[in-house]
Every structure is written in C-alpha cells, then in structure tokens.
Amino acid sequence: MARLPENHPLRFALNNEVHARPPEPLSAPAKISCIALITGWPYRDEDRAVVAELTARYGATPPGPGVKHYSVDLGDFHLVWERHTEFTRYTFIVKGDAEHPLSPPALAAAPADWVDALPGELILAANAALVDELPCNGDYAEIAARYFGGHALVGSNVTSSAGLALTDFRIHADGFSSFLIQNKSMPPWHAGRIVQRILEIETYRVMSLLALPVANTLGPKITKAEEELAEITGVMTRSQAVDEPALLERLTRLEAQIEQGYTESQFRFGAASAYYALVHRRIGELREERIKGMQTFQEFIERRLAPAMSTCAAAERRQQALSDRVERASQLLATRVNLTLERQNQTLLDSMNKRAELQVRLQRTVEGLSVAAITYYIVGIIGYLAKGAEAANHAINASLITGLSVPIVAAFAGFGLWRLQREFSRQNEKKGEERP
C-alpha cells in the first residue's frame, strides 16, 4: 500500500473537533448536577488546576495541557469538565433514587471544600433527574407542586416520544433550577445526549441573557447621544463659520463616546447572538411533541427569551446607526470647516498679492527716483567739470555738454540698476534650488 502524503498540522485536531464534547451514556435512574462559572481568559489554567487537584484526591489521571473536555469516573460520582470561551461547566453524575429523583443533588457527592474553591462566578446551577417512570403517577399538577414549587411547567415529549422533559426555568430555594426527564425507550447514549442538550439549553439561555443588562444600560446613553447629535445638527444648519470648529470638537467628542460604548458592548451582543442561535439549535434537536395544556421549550423560549434578544439587537442597531450618523455629520462639518479655511486662505493670498503688487510699484518708483538722483548728481559733476573747462578754453560750451550728458548718464544709470537687480534675482533663484 502506498504511503499517504504528509499530514497537514491541523488534520487530526480538526477531525477531533466534531467529537470534542461527547455525551455521557446515562441509564435511569440517574441524578445530574450542572454548574457553570464565568471564568474567561484569566482562569484558563486555574480551573484545569482545580480539576487536577480533585483527580489527585481520587488517584485518577488529570486533564492534560490544552484539554477543553475531560470526563472521569471518580467512584462516588462521575465528573465532566468543559472549558468554554467565557465559562467553565462542571457536570456531576450519580446513581438516582426513584423515590427522591432530585434530592439530594448529585453535587452533594463532590467534596464540599473543593466545590467552594472553584474559580469564577456562578452563572448556572441546575439539577436534572433521569427516571424510568414519572413520579406522582404522572400527575403534572402534583409534580409541579412537589418538585417545581407549584410553578407552571414547561415541557414536551422528545425524540419522537421516546422521552419526556419537564422544567419551570426557575431558580428554586436551594439555588438550583430543576429538570425532570423520563426515559421511555431511549438507549443510554441517546438519553445522555438528550440530558446534555437540555442542560446546554439552560446554559446558553442564561449566557445569552448577559447582554440584556448591557442593552438596558446602553439605551439611555444612546438616547442622550441621539439628542445631542440632533442639537448639533440643528446648530449646523444655522451656524456661522466661527461656530464650526467648536461644533466639530463636540462631534468628535461624541463620536469617541459612541465608539467606546460600541467597543465595550460589541463582544457581548455578538456572544448573545451566538448563544441564542445555539439555544434554538439544541431545542430543534429535541424534536419536541406537545403535551396538552403545557408550553413547549420552543414556545417558552420564543415568548420569554426572544423579546430580550430583540432588545439587545435593537440596541446594537441603534448604536450602529448612531455611529454612522455621527460619522456623516463629522464629515459634513469637516468639509465645511475646510471650505471656510480655504476661503480664508484665498482671501489672505489675495491680500498678499495686492501687497506684493504695491511693493513692486513702490520698488519701481524708488528705482526711477534712484536713476533720477544718480543722473542728477553725475550730471552735476559733469557740469562742474564742463564749466571749469569752459573757463580755461572759451571754445567749450559747458551748458551744451551738461545737457548732452543727461540722457547718456540716465541710460547708464538705468542699465546699471537693471544689471544689479538681475544679479540679485539670479542669486535668490540659485539659493532656492539649493534649499532641500
């Protein structure tokens, strides 16, 4: 058999990703406790360390570096540890009791000091019971009174009526939400998958709702920013040029505030959308069939969770629309400021050109006066010389010589000034070319 080509570095990791979090096979009766703690990046090693510490107590193999899913039987209970981006989930499984399906919880089998030391903040605590037969002879009213505090039940037949799931989606006095699951004809791996899906629905439901307080806090801020933007744009329609720099500064400050809010909430809203999609996907995998007189999981989620997610989506859209409007207003005002500056610069250039023209005229006047002055003095000197020569020799006409010298001297004086001016201009041009 020919050898395969060299493997891509990620080939096995990508293939194993679809098997990353397999369900645990479950046989009734069984009790399951699930707790989820907000951990995030700072706890990426700490929560793995506490699991390793627990396995050391029971002489089991700890999770390896980089492992995000770990399942181990510790004798007293079975532990499943899952590391997610924002949270860590611990699932505890013990043998159930048909007489007391939900108490004591499976979590009671774990060492109390170890549970108390778990890192992070608790966001979910749920107890689930897998039973062959519903307690109370299947009387839903009595089940609700005994196990769910008398609250209205949410439930359905699942997987083509091979199972049945009940809950009230409430946190009870013991701090746990409760789920009662009947296994009518599901094999262990299928029952484990249904329990896993139901606990994932509860986990992702709660995680998606983390965005609701953000949306509620953001709403008044967006309204205030919208009002300020409306005020600024109103002033823009009637503002003078002197007001534009101040308005641009206000807009820039408002844009920075909006961008800060967008940056702080963008991840939360994106995560909520992803969690909400997972909730719908997990509910779809239950393949629900209605129990008469009872809300299904799908109906409860649509009636209770969907409005909250709509609020988050609306806040995100308002924030994005506000950011776009502020950006357009900033661009418009910046254009107006630039046009005003260009007009001011043009006016300044025109003024400078006029001054330059006056300077040229003055310079030419001065040059003309200089030629006249030079001519006057030189002709005066020639006149003195001519008069002296006339006194010595009567044949010389001093007045004639003086008069004839005037145009000649003026021509030479004008030519000399022209040569001097041209030389200065040439030197200035040369310096300009040498300057970097």
Q: Give the tens place of pLDDT for each residue, 1-21.
A: 667 788 777 766 666 655 566
pLDDT-derived band of residue 109, with 50, 70 and 90 as boundaries? Answer: very high
Over the stretch 294-345, which tens digit does the pLDDT of each residue have? 999 999 998 989 999 999 999 999 988 888 888 888 777 777 777 777 777 8
Query: Locate tokens 């209970």: which residue?
Result: 77
CA distances from 342 to 309, 347, 356 (A): 49, 9, 20
Name the residue with higher pLDDT: 396 or 174: 174
Q: Determine phi and psi for 169, rounding to 5 degrees.
A: 55, 35
pLDDT at 430 over 90: no
Q: What is the Cα–Cα distance from 434 to 423, expressed in whole angstroms?
A: 17
Would you say how long the chain is, in residues?
Answer: 436
Angle subtended at Cα 183 by Cα 180 and Cα 185, rounded to the nearest 5 degrees: 165
Q: Where are the domains of the chain?
A: 24-206, 211-346, 355-420
DSSP, res 75:
S
What's the mean pLDDT when you consider all of the chain?
85
Name the residue with higher pLDDT: 23 or 122: 122
Pairing outcome for strands 87-95 and 121-131 = unpaired
The per-residue DSSP string of 282-341 comes to HHHHH--EEPTTSB-HHHHIIIIIHHHHHHHHHHHHHHHHHHHHHHHHHHHHHHHHHHHH
Evaluate whether 204 touches 280 at the Cβ level (below 8 Å).
no
Name the residue with higher pLDDT: 419 or 211: 211
Over the stretch 372-407, which tens digit does the pLDDT of each residue have? 777 777 777 777 777 777 677 666 776 776 677 777
In the structure encoding, which two tokens stand for residue 429, read together? Answer: 């041009």
pLDDT-derived band of residue 110, with 50, 70 and 90 as boundaries? Answer: very high
- Cis peptide bond prior to 101, omega within 30° of 0: no
Nearest to 69, CA basis, from 18, 136, 132: 18
Helix (H, G, I), strand (E, B), or coil: what is residue 82?
Answer: strand
Query: Locate tokens 């995030």: which residue?
Result: 40
H helix or E strand, kind and range, residue 228? helix 211-238
Name the residue with higher pLDDT: 95 or 417: 95
**Number of Cα atoms under 13 Å in the Cβ half of residue 182:** 19
Name the residue with higher pLDDT: 370 or 332: 332
Give me the pLDDT at residue 364, please. 66
